Amino acid sequence: MYNNEQTKQLQQHTLSFLKSSGIEAHDIHSLRNVLRFHEYRYYVMNDPLIADAEYDQLYKALEKLEQENPGLITSDSPTQRVSKGLIRDFPKVQHLVPMLSLDNSYNAADLIDFDRKARELSGLKEIAYCVEPKFDGAGISLIYENDLLVRGATRGDGVTGDDITTNIRQIRSVPLSAAFSSFGIQQIEIRGEVLMNKDHFKAYNDRLEEEGANRLANPRNAAAGSLRIKDPREVGRRNLEAFLYHISDVTFLPHYNASETLKTHSDALQMLWELGFRSPEKEKSVLNDIASVIEYCETFEKQRDELPYEIDGMVIKVNELQIQEQLGMTTHHPRWAIAYKFKARQGTSRLRAVEFQVGRTGAVTPVAKIEPVQIGGVTVGSISLHNEEYIREKNLMLGDTVLIERSGDVIPQVVKSFPELRDGKETAIHYPTRCPACGYPLEKPEGEAVWRCNNSHNCPAQIIERIIHFNSKDAMDIRGLGDAIVKKFYELHYLHDIPGIYRLPFDKIEKLEGFGKKSVHNLQTAVEASKKQPLYRLIYGLGIRYIGETTAKALARKVDHLLDYTQFSMEALQQIEDVGPKVAASVYAFFHNEQNIGLLEELEKIGLQLSNGKKVSASEGALEGQTFLFTGTLHQLKRSEAESMVEENGGTVLSGVSSKLNYLVVGEDAGSKLEKAKKITTIKIISEGEFLSLVGK
Ligand code: IVH
């Protein structure tokens, strides 16, 4: 899309816009191009050249210019993705060409058969195929007219779909305008797939769970559901992506020689790529015989887990468009393409029992015990059923046959039950009315989906889970004090609360089976070292409801001492980044509970850091106001540790090289970031050792 020369020039414009104190109306066209370029780098190439905050700065400048000069707004301006109102309904629209399905194949023999038929029908000895991933998302169809995106639709029944243009405009890898006219194209209908990548899917599911809603079974459902939301801003927040892989209809400009432009499917992918779309240009391969096709499919299947998004197979397409035409289609699928389906990430099993587990916040979660089943190389025996409503929705009974899926988010889910297979021996699932761990009556607050045990300070299950969470990797990171050991120590009465971690009877532990001098010494060292963990880890480790790592960091930054929060009002709490009314209420309640305050005071006496480190650290705020970026492999520190050190010392970690960057810390095998940084003379390029001495280590 952008060659080296254009990239350099656009980056130069970027820097001068970033430095400029007033961007003027005559710059608007250039500013838009700069923003489009960075959207492309970020959303299509996955390789941003500026920090998010810098993008925001330029975006705001464009918004301001457009507010001052409404006459200059264009429908394809980066600001015009966002639509403020709600969508009433999605009108039905007819696709220019029906959206067909694909025929499926499952093994090499099926592919050999497909190739044989294609060769017989076309009378050719050899056929070249273009092979690309089969994206596991929601199908879409887009129309561009005179270079502008004019319509986006769902697949629907294949003939008519829903007009979801407003929502499609929220997907930042879909260009609002693309220079099809430079290929002689006046109107084009293109097809593709909308996806939610695995990381975003997992985060979205975690958010759903935190809000008391049910996790979704797979990213496909998340993508398809997101396209049908009536609030386009929410669609924008879902971080959807789109791959475009098929041209279904083209109208050329008058006098244009159509046959010159697109001869093969791979030409089409390349054209889309050059016009700024995400097409499988880099993932595809053009192969001259079916044996190579099979090999490519099998290799790709092995790498499936390393991809950031879900694919459920490969699609094999006859590469020459003329041969495609000759082969034609059935009413259901083209004869020139076939899907090669990977091994399913689904399996059926039987629901044997439901156990009820109590989490650290007292939430009671039903867990299905199923007959163990292999799914994608992993044996699944237990699956969370989330809550009562979920069990009802999925119509589950003990003894039922159930369909299980493990996709995107490694956590397996029950997709559905098969009531038609019941033999009358199935029984209803009874929800407990008392806590299975301590017998306390369960309560379900208005508007929440989860039953809770509110006996938080005396319920053994909650105590154990709280200790486990406190020790966990992202919290105090006490290695050697994992789930099973915490349970064991609890049963032996060695450990019954968080401060107890710091009073473990190591002499007795040393005599336990499976422990020796060395492991006890390691444990003792890990426990001792945890006292020096930064404040945000402690906050996160306390397991306050709704407080994840990010909010814990924001909370740690705001005060000198953790107990300062006892003085914060609800309003003051809501001034903190990431803190809304729900989170504020939870923090407020935590710091107005005597037992919690007692716990914090005790931890401080034991020697844990309750002040945020700035006051006690020798290198107080040593990096205040400085920006950092790490590249290459570090040897003495983990990347996350290094980044935390920056933040603890008052610095900021940026996500890309730009003029805002003060220090690039270079590890082994540093790549393009180092090259970019060398071009910006104000950036100091330092080694890991130099970084450590900056923070006084
Ligand atoms: S080509 C006329 N290519 O799979 C041929 N489809 O099971 C049009 N899909 O409806 C389809 N990745 O939604 C094609 N690389 C890819 C694909 C792909 C995913 C979807 C598409 C299609 C479904 C058929």
pLDDT digits (tens, 9 = 90+) for 97-111: 999 999 999 999 999
Q: Which residues line ligand 1 (CB under 6 A)?
A: 100-102, 132, 134-135, 139, 191, 193, 245-246, 315, 334, 337, 339
| pLDDT tens per residue across span 313-368 | 999 999 999 999 999 999 889 999 999 999 888 899 999 999 999 999 999 999 99
Which of 140, 139, 118 has the alpha carbon at shortest distance from 127?
118
**Contact of 498 with 466, CB cutoff 8 Å:** yes
Q: Give dist(CA 525, CA 76) in Å, integer.
A: 59
**Which atom of ligand 1 approaches the CA of 100 most closely?**
2
Distance 206 CA to ligand 1 centre (A): 29
* Other residues' Cβ atoms within 10 Å of the Cβ of residue 390: 19
The pLDDT of residue 261 is above 80: no
Q: Give dist(CA 505, CA 534) in Å, integer.
A: 26
Query: Which residues fall within 8 angstroms of residue 514, CB to CB, at 6 or more apart?
Result: none
Phi, then psi, of 664 in degrees rounded to 5: -110, 120
The pLDDT of residue 492 is above 90: yes
Q: Give dist(CA 528, CA 531) in Å, integer.
A: 6
Q: Give dist(CA 385, CA 362) in Å, integer.
A: 16
Query: Which residues fall within 8 angstroms of residue 419, CB to CB, at 6 or more apart?
Result: 395, 400
Report pLDDT for 668.
87
Quickly tell me which residue has 């992506």 as its tokens.
Answer: 241
614: tokens are 């700035």
Report pLDDT for 176.
96
**Contact of 7 with 279, CB cutoff 8 Å:** no
Which of 535, 530, 581, 533 has the alpha carbon at shortest distance from 554?
535
The pLDDT of residue 620 is above 70: no
Q: What's the chain's average pLDDT?
A: 91
Distance 283 CA to ligand 1 centre (A): 15
Collapsing DSSP to helix, strand or coil, 86 comes out as: coil
Report pLDDT for 618.
39
Kindly indicate the confidence band of residue 619, based on its pLDDT and cuts at 50, 70 and 90: very low
Angle CA(429)–CA(435)–CA(436) in degrees, nearest 5?
Answer: 65
Distance 181 CA to ligand 1 centre (A): 26
Percent of the chain with pLDDT over 70: 98
Given the residues 8, 19, 84, 134, the one annotated as active site: 134
The average pLDDT across 172-201 equals 95
Q: Is residue 466 within a helix (H) or strand (E), and if so which, with residue range?
A: helix 460-471
466: tokens are 């709280």
To test the pocket of ligand 1, the residue of 315, 321, 332 to mutate (highest count of ligand atoms within 8 Å of its CB) is: 315
Q: Give dist(CA 62, CA 506) in Å, integer.
A: 63
Collapsing DSSP to helix, strand or coil, 511 comes out as: coil
* Other residues' Cβ atoms within 10 Å of the Cβ of residue 328: 10
Report pLDDT for 616.
37
**Contact of 327 with 121, CB cutoff 8 Å:** yes
The pLDDT of residue 260 is above 80: no
Kindly indicate the confidence band of residue 131, based on its pLDDT and cuts at 50, 70 and 90: very high
The average pLDDT across 678-689 equals 87
The average pLDDT across 119-137 equals 96
The average pLDDT across 125-154 equals 97
| pLDDT tens per residue across span 554-569 | 899 889 999 999 999 9
Higher pLDDT, 118 or 620: 118
Residue nearest atom 15 in ligand 1 by C-alpha distance: 134
Residue nearest atom 9 in ligand 1 by C-alpha distance: 134
Higher pLDDT, 147 or 577: 147
Kindly indicate the confidence band of residue 408, based on its pLDDT and cuts at 50, 70 and 90: confident
Side chain identity, residue 28: I
**Contact of 152 with 167, CB cutoff 8 Å:** yes
Residue nearest atom 23 in ligand 1 by C-alpha distance: 101
343: tokens are 């091994």
- Beta partners for 152? 142
Phi, then psi, of 522 in degrees rounded to 5: -60, -45
| pLDDT tens per residue across span 512-527 | 998 989 999 999 999 9
Task: Give me the DSSP letters along 102-141.
Answer: --EE-SHHHHHHHHHHHHHHHT-S---EEEEEEE-SEEEE
Residue nearest atom 10 in ligand 1 by C-alpha distance: 101
Kindly indicate the confidence band of residue 259, based on its pLDDT and cuts at 50, 70 and 90: low
Measured in whole angstroms, the distance separating CA 696 from the mean position of its chain's CA atoms is 35
Higher pLDDT, 150 or 577: 150
Higher pLDDT, 145 or 557: 145
Count the alpha carbons within 13 Å of 144 in the hemisphere toward its beta carbon.
28
- Beta partners for 193? 139, 243
**Contact of 506 with 520, CB cutoff 8 Å:** yes
Residue nearest atom 13 in ligand 1 by C-alpha distance: 139
250: tokens are 């083209």
Active-site residue, 341 included: no
Higher pLDDT, 305 or 40: 40
510: tokens are 């040393």
Higher pLDDT, 631 or 670: 631
The pLDDT of residue 550 is above 90: no
Kindly indicate the confidence band of residue 660, based on its pLDDT and cuts at 50, 70 and 90: confident
Which of 221, 217, 218, 229 has the alpha carbon at shortest distance from 168?
229
The average pLDDT across 78-82 equals 88
Higher pLDDT, 659 or 16: 16
Collapsing DSSP to helix, strand or coil, 580 comes out as: coil
Percent of the chain with pLDDT over 90: 71
To test the pocket of ligand 1, the residue of 103, 134, 286 to mutate (highest count of ligand atoms within 8 Å of its CB) is: 134
Residue nearest atom 16 in ligand 1 by C-alpha distance: 134
Gyration radius from the chain CA atoms: 29
> Strand pairing of 160-162 and 148-154?
unpaired
Distance 102 CA to ligand 1 centre (A): 6
Which of 132, 103, 137, 136 has the alpha carbon at shortest distance from 118?
103
**Contact of 169 with 81, CB cutoff 8 Å:** yes
To test the pocket of ligand 1, the residue of 135, 248, 272, 310 to mutate (highest count of ligand atoms within 8 Å of its CB) is: 135
Measured in whole angstroms, the distance separating CA 653 from the mean position of its chain's CA atoms is 20
Residue nearest atom 18 in ligand 1 by C-alpha distance: 134
Kindly indicate the confidence band of residue 422, based on its pLDDT and cuts at 50, 70 and 90: very high
Q: Is 669 left (phi over 0), alpha (psi -120 to 50) or beta?
A: left
Distance 280 CA to ligand 1 centre (A): 12
DSSP E strands in 388-475: the ranges are 401-405, 413-417, 442-443, 452-453
**Strand ranges of the sheet holding 684-687, from the earlier edge strand across to the other edge:** 652-653, 627-631, 663-666, 684-687
Distance 224 CA to ligand 1 centre (A): 15
**Contact of 280 with 245, CB cutoff 8 Å:** yes
Q: Is residue 390 within a helix (H) or strand (E), and if so which, with residue range?
A: helix 388-393
304: tokens are 């499936």
Distance 299 CA to ligand 1 centre (A): 20
The pLDDT of residue 31 is above 70: yes
Number of residues assigned to the chain:
697
653: tokens are 């970690």
Higher pLDDT, 494 or 233: 494
Report pLDDT for 215.
81
The pLDDT of residue 534 is above 60: yes
The average pLDDT across 404-424 equals 89
- Beta partners for 320? 264
Quickly tell me which residue has 């056929």 as its tokens.
Answer: 127
Side chain identity, residue 666: V
The one-character DSSP state at 275 is: T
**Contact of 349 with 421, CB cutoff 8 Å:** no
Task: Give me the DSSP letters along 199-230.
Answer: HHHHHHHHHHHHTTPPPPS-HHHHHHHHHT-S
For the chain, the first-to-last Cα distance in angstroms comes to 45
**Which atom of ligand 1 approaches the CA of 138 most closely?**
13
To test the pocket of ligand 1, the residue of 95, 97, 102 to mutate (highest count of ligand atoms within 8 Å of its CB) is: 102
